[in-house]
Every structure is written in structure tokens, then in C-alpha cells.
Structure 1
Amino acid sequence: MEKGFSRLESALLVLIVASGFCPVFIQILEVTKDIPKDKMGDYATWFSGAGTIVAVFTAYLVGERQANAARKQSEAQERKRHGEQIASIFAILESCETEINRLADEYERNAGGRLALALSFEEPIFNALLNALMGINLATLGTHIAITQMVLAQQALFRLGEAIDEYCSDRGETIIYTDGQPAIYPEPLRLKPWKNAFMGAHQKLRAALTARLE
């Protein structure tokens, strides 16, 4: 909040103080006989009335100044809070993207090995990231573009987690018969569509939220 007084406010305050002491000054002048006695009351009344007007005007200026300072402080706090909120959203998105890339790299490095992926898939961590992303209040995002992209990012991460869980728990299998004998093969894990969907939504969401900070 702003402190101190402007030059105009200081001058008005001086006038108020001076007007308050006008009766005293007039009494001094009365001693010197410079002002007729029948005019003393008129001068005192005039100065007191002027002082009242100045006091009211000064009170208005000071109140308006304080209200403006309070409004600016509130707006600055709101901008800071909003910036911290967006920074938190960015941190969650980046953490999710890092985990997605790690799992995709692990899958490709082990040529689709189910056991290797199952060992690297830390479900509690993944679920914690998913819950953090799902817990973001859509109403605070501000624009329909940001809200739409957030929903797409949430859906992509959720579907990716489902696909990995199904793949690692032997539910994604295909039975192929060769020479009359059944052979069970795991269906390939399709990470790329959900990974690309998340990356695209992340980029558009970041652009939309960054624009709100400018």
C-alpha cells in the first residue's frame, strides 16, 4: 500500500490546520485593531466554512488514494497467485510427459518385453501423476481452448495407463493357431497414439496458459 501524501494532499492538510487556527489569528488581529470588531465574526465564520469544505475534499482524496492502492495490491496478489497456479500445472504436465517418455523408451529398448515393462511401470507413481492431473480445476484455466486441451491430456494419460496395465497383466493376448496348435502371443502395446495425443494437448495447453500470463 502506498505511503505518504502527495503535494496537493499536504497543501490541503496545511489549509485545514490553518483554518482551525483562524479564530486565534483573528483574536490576535483584534488586539491590533486592524480589523473592525463588527467584521471579526464574519471572517471567523468564512474561514471555518472554507476549512470544512477543504477537510471534506481532502478526506475524499485520501480515501480515493487508499482505495486505488488497495485495488492495485489486490490485483498484484491475484496475478501472483495465478502465476503460481499455472507454474504448478506446468510442473505436473512436465512430470507426466517425463514418465510417458520413460515408459515408451523402456518398451522400445526391450523390444516390447512385457516383464521389463512391468518391472519399470511404477503404478503408484503413475497413479499419483494421473490423480494430480485429474485434480486440476478446469474452471480456473480461463479459456475454452485450455479446458479442452486439459481434458484431452487427462484422457490420453488415463488411456495410456490402462493400456500398459492390460499389457503387463497378460490380458492383452491373441491366440493364433498353427498346424492346429494354439499359440498365445501378446498383442503389441500401442503407446504411440496416446503419447502423441498427450504431447499435442500439452503443447497447446501450455501456449493457451502462457498467453494468459502476458
Structure 2
Amino acid sequence: MKYYFAPMEGITTHVFRAVHSRRFPGADRYYTPFFSPTSDHLFTPREQRELTPETPCAAPVVPQILSKCAADIVWAAEGLQDMGYTVFNLNLGCPSATVTAKGKGAGLLQKPDALDTLLADVFAASPIAVSLKSRIGYLAPEEFPRLLSIYRQYDAQELILHPRTRKEMYSGAVHMDAFALAAAGSPFPVVYNGDLFTAEDIRAFEAAHPETEAVMLGRGAAADPALFRRLR
């Protein structure tokens, strides 16, 4: 199984990734905290430092984009291609109120038809591969079959799924039935994300879901920097 370090705003910066990947190796991939391209189509100095650091990470890095505008996403993808990236991750799962109020992140899940249009435009024009990170709905788990049917129309590199709704944030039990639904018959790998905090948690998940190719670790890996190393 592969192990990914989740994008965490204010934590998984380029400095953290460079140090962590060398001092505590074991993660197969790191995802950057999201950046939000704007209509002026310029990378800010901070974004340039994050995406083209002087000291690169020792493992592959996938930039994450947060936007509801296909033109801005495609422009950013073109810029990422120029920087040498071959894939980006589209954030469809951030539950923060400041994000969802703007119709971004998990806010996109409220309007499936608009989400479908956005994805159609992005996948048609992006010069590099696209992966998706999503929750299972905005208010209720019953929203997920519709969302999944949309995702399955597109040639995503992978779907990273946190099986909670935006309303649930990080509380309550994860909906493993939704993850199982996604994992069964999707044309892309489905990566699990959520409530895996210790090596024991991860080993138990691996035993229960041997068909899963990868898991994404966030809060547990931030609390225990050596977690990935102990999984090897």
C-alpha cells in the first residue's frame, strides 16, 4: 500500500516537506496546501516559493488547487506543467466556512450540475493529469451516489475520498459504505482519507481493505512525524 501525506494548511509547507521527507522518510507522496489561482493569472511570490522551492522534497509532490473557475484552474495547470509537474489535485472537500461560502472546496458539492460542468471543462483542457479530493456530500451521505456518478465520467488519476459530509466536518463515524461504493467499480483508484491516526489504525484498515491501493494521512502524521517510517 502507498502512503500519502495530506495537504494541511500552515503545516505541510515546502520547508516542512523538505525536512520531513529526509528526516522521516516513508511517505510515497506529499500534497501541497491548496492555492487559489485568480483571474489575474499570476503566481504570487509565496506560491512560487511553495511550488518551486530551493530545497525540493525528497518524494514526489502534487500541488492542490482550490477554485470554482475552470479557466483559472486550467491556467494554473499550464503553469504547473511549465514547472515540471505532471498532475494536480482539485480540492472538492475543504469544509471551512470561509471556503464553502465562496462556493469552493466542499461548497462545490452543493450544486452537482455545476460541478459536472466545471469538471468537464477542466478535464477537456488541462495539459496535465487531474486527481480529485472530495467528501461524500454537503449535507447528507445520500448525496454521494450522484456525485460519484459525475466523478466516474472523467479520467481522474485518482479519487481521494474522505467519507464524511461537509456538515459533519471531522466528527462522527466515517461512512465506510460510501467508501466501499466508490471503491467498487470506479475506473480510477480510490484513496482512503479519514481517521487513521496510528500505525495500528492503518494496519487494521489494510487488513480490512486489501484492495485499496493507497491511504492519505493527515492529522495522525502531523502529530507523529515518524508514522510513515514505522509503516515500512
Could you tell me the TM-score, scaled by structure 2's length? 0.20
TM-score by length of 1: 0.21
Looking at secondary structure, tell me which structure has more helix per residue. Answer: 1
Q: Which has the higher contact order (CA 8 A, sep 6+)?
A: 2
